[in-house]
Amino acid sequence: TPSTIACFPPRVTVVGSGNVGSALAQRLAEKNLADVVLLDVVEGRPQGLALDLMQARGIERHDRQIIGTNDYADTANSDVVVITAGLPRKPGMSRDDLMLINGKIVLEVTKQAIVHSPNTIFIVVTNPLDQMTHITWKASGLPVHQVMGMAGVLDSARFQTFVAMELGVSTSDISATVLGSHGDLMVPLPRYTTVNGISITELMDADTIEQLIDRTRKGGAEIVDLMKTGSAFYAPSSSTCVMVESILLNKCRILPVTTYLQGQYGLRDVFVGVPCRLGCQGIESVLELDLTEAEQLALHQSAEAVRQTSDRIEALLASS
């Protein structure tokens, strides 16, 4: 007999069991949010990580299952599929350098995952983010609200951190907003960045804000330069986890998410980060902020940079 209640726990597949994927699996399981399937092309690594995470369960006091696999059949009926598979940036490498190589990986991953979870919600993490999200949307054939990219939550978290450090106040009191593409042209919005509701434009001078924006834009590169091998993964996995949580628990949080715009903000047919309401359907709605001319221009420039690569993306999709 069919169950009368939706069965807990939900199931989240994380493709790519590298730094971001493994940290995300840990966060999802230890927050008791979902059973997790960790998948990678490398044999043994996801299985080993899953066993390690399983052995922490008694200490962390949760009952979530973590499975490691190389086989997409094990991902069947996932509620959410997160794609972190690909190469991370190396020092000096731009996100765009990664486009072709990661594009092929993300395309392949999407095609395999959708076979076993035909109505899932995809969250793409792999860089270059906006383009990879486009590939997953096209390759999956899913409606736009079921395919999104994670970048704005991370960029906003970085801006929030730098504002908190500058003002010497609790990070929790700061709400930061960063829109646009996940790249050098991201659009931090000081007017919509507040300390307990007070805009930072009332608390800091323009030069200081500009410095914090600059550091936010270069936030990923600063960490890559320090780490030498690999890139950030603690804050990226937290950022992805909060999106998964808002979807699974239907929290309807307003988060900056990379989505396919269809006229909002005067932009069409391009993936770019804007505030979205995330619930159990995926992107429940896109919020349109009342931007100033300068903010609107910055968002359009950011979207234009993504659009300039769309020919290469279409060529990649056509060749598959």
Element (H, E) at 179: strand 178-179
In terms of CB distance, is 75 or 195 closer to ligand TXD? Answer: 75
Opening angle at CA 53, ends 47 and 58, nearest 5 = 135
Nearer to ligand TXD, 142 or 148 (CB): 148
Query: Which residue, 227 or 254, has its beta carbon nearer to ligand TXD?
Result: 227
CB of 65 to ligand TXD, least distance (A): 20
111 three-class SS = helix
Using DSSP's 3-state secondary structure scheme, residue 108 falls into helix
Active site residue 182: yes
Q: How far is the CB of 205 from ligand TXD (least distance, A)?
A: 29
Asked whether the beta carbons of 149 and 132 are under 8 A apart, the reply is: yes
Which residue out of 116, 134, 145, 182 is catalytically annotated? Answer: 182
Q: Could you give the CA distance from residue 18 to residue 40 in angstroms, rounded to a whole number?
A: 8
User: From the CB of 85, what's the least distance to ligand TXD, in Å?
Assistant: 3
Nearer to ligand TXD, 95 or 195 (CB): 95
8 Å CB contact between 83 and 104: no
Cα gap 145→124, rounded to integer Å: 13
Q: Summarize as ranges the residues that interact with ligand TXD (CB under 6 A).
A: 15-21, 40-42, 84-89, 102, 105, 108-109, 125-127, 129, 150-151, 154, 182, 230-233, 236
Distance separating alpha carbons of residues 97 and 136, to the nearest angstrom: 19
Least Å from the CB of residue 27 to ligand TXD? 13
Catalytic residues: 182
